[in-house]
Amino acid sequence: MTHPPRHWISPLALALGCALLSACNSSSLPPPPAQGPAEVGVVTLKAQPITLTSELPGRTNATVAAEVRPQVNGIIRERLFTEGSDVKAGQLLYRIDPATYQASYDSAKATLAKDEANLETLRLKAKRYAELAEIKAIAQQDKDDALSSVKQAEATVAADKAALETAAINLGYTRITAPVAGRIGKSSVTPGALVTANQTTALATIQQTNPMYVDLTESSADVLRLKKAFEAGQMRRAGRDQAAVALILEDGSRYTQEGKLQFADVTVNESTGTIAVRAVFPNPRGELLPGMYVRAVLEEGVAQEAVLVPQKGVSRNVKGEPVALVVGADNKVELRTLNLSRPMGENWLVSSGLKAGEKVIVEGSQKARPNSVVNPVPVEGAKAAAPATPAAPATSATTGKPGA
């Protein structure tokens, strides 16, 4: 039985056929569209008046803090105050068992009375001896001995008086009173506890919190700058020689009372290069408590033509210099090196490198290159022209962190 001949297709013929088929298909497709300029989000800078401020971190401290400690040993019999209440200077706080001190006082008083009686006897004797010595009835030595006995008795009486005074003082120390007026904290002892004179643990602490101190730290360079600004009249004043200070509380709210910058320390901390600065704030309602973390804000003046650039539109080059991409003429991208003054909320205050009316790329910068052409699109809701809000003022140049 014969079979029909088999037809073989060579690999070369198969490859040529596929190539011809692909060429036919590609010639029938339309060419890809040409890509246009990359789209980037831009913000147009504006010049506007901005209040320049410096923000200093600090802690609140009581203007007066007195620790109450016993000055004699003994057992606490009574506690006569309510913890957390206001007390007056001299108010009785604790009473120590006075029995032993009362006995010492009574003994010293009796000894003084005995020696005073003896002194009176010796004085009368010395007086009689003096009269007898004038008529040569006794020897001069007897007269001198009588006078010496009187002086010795007088010294004994003086010592007795001192001992009585000491006993009275110790008896008085069994009544522990408030050294200053203010608010008293918790008591570290209860009735029945044994206390000792000048012990390290205070029985309680009394603090005066109206007004309240705010202790701040600032670099020595910034303190010099603030002093020059104050002397030049660029800072808001709260008196003839005091600058006005605002306060931001731990929750970010602004304290309603205005304070005064009181003094700067006379010594620079060598390890940190900072100076201690103190401000004073009224605290009539007790809103400020000792130990709170706060931020003090000093107004340095107003920059009438300030230019702010969003922080997200600023990057750093290999040298660490701040740079920004600007859309210039014919939508061509330019790379600008900037000088930044300070953070203002979510923006930077620009010293040089940018001016009002210029467009800074804040979105899509990865698609833009210097000298390339882009399609700038305004970014809605941009905060470039908005200064820092009162609750988040500009920070000090020391920290370099934007206000929270």
Domain ranges within the chain, ordered by starting residue: 40-52+303-378, 55-63+208-301, 70-96+176-201, 98-173
55-63+208-301: CATH class = mainly beta
Among 133-137, 266-270, 315-319, which stretch is predicted with the lowest mean pLDDT? Answer: 266-270
Q: In angstroms, rounded to a whole number, what is the distance separating the alpha carbons of residues 222 and 377? A: 40
Given a contact cutoff of 8 angstroms between Cβ atoms, the answer to whether 325 and 334 are in contact is yes
pLDDT of residue 1: 46
Residue whose tokens read 């209040």: 51
Given a contact cutoff of 8 angstroms between Cβ atoms, the answer to whether 168 and 53 are in contact is no
Collapsing DSSP to helix, strand or coil, 87 comes out as strand
Q: Which tokens hold the place of 135?
A: 């008529």
Collapsing DSSP to helix, strand or coil, 312 comes out as helix
Q: What sections of 245-360 are H helices per DSSP?
A: none
Decide if pLDDT at 156 tops 90: yes
Given a contact cutoff of 8 angstroms between Cβ atoms, the answer to whether 157 and 130 are in contact is no
Given a contact cutoff of 8 angstroms between Cβ atoms, the answer to whether 374 and 199 are in contact is no
Query: Taking residues 301-330, what's their average pLDDT?
Result: 88
Report DSSP state, residue 16.
H
**Topology at the third CATH level for domain 70-96+176-201:** OB fold (Dihydrolipoamide Acetyltransferase, E2P) (2.40.50)
Q: Which residue would you say has higher pLDDT here, 301 or 148?
A: 148
- Per the DSSP assignment, residues forming a β-bridge with 371 are none
Given a contact cutoff of 8 angstroms between Cβ atoms, the answer to whether 247 and 214 are in contact is yes
Of residues 61, 34, 28, the one with CA closest to residue 292: 61
pLDDT of residue 8: 44
Equal CATH topology for 40-52+303-378 and 98-173:
no
Given a contact cutoff of 8 angstroms between Cβ atoms, the answer to whether 65 and 206 are in contact is yes
Query: Taking residues 112-134, what's their average pLDDT?
Result: 92
Among 109-113, 145-149, 210-214, 271-275, which stretch is predicted with the lowest mean pLDDT? Answer: 271-275
Q: Which tokens hold the place of 66?
A: 């007195």
Select the CATH number that applies to the domain covering 98-173 from these four: 3.30.70, 1.10.3470, 1.10.287, 2.60.40: 1.10.287
In this structure, the chain runs to a length of 404
Report DSSP state, residue 93.
E
Q: Which residue would you say has higher pLDDT here, 304 or 382?
A: 304
Q: Which residue would you say has higher pLDDT here, 67 or 34?
A: 67
Residue whose tokens read 């130990």: 291
Decide if pLDDT at 358 tops 50: yes
pLDDT band, very low/low/confident/very high, at 359 (cuts 50, 70, 90)? very high
Question: Mean pLDDT in the chain?
Answer: 82
Q: Which tokens hold the place of 161?
A: 């008086």
Strand residues in 185-258 grouped as ranges (E): 194-195, 204-219, 244-248
Share above pLDDT 90 across residues of the chain, in percent, rounded to a whole number: 49
CATH architecture of the domain covering 40-52+303-378: Beta Barrel (2.40)
- Half-sphere exposure for 143 (CA within 13 Å, toward CB): 14
Q: In angstroms, rounded to a whole number, what is the distance separating the alpha carbons of residues 343 and 58? A: 19
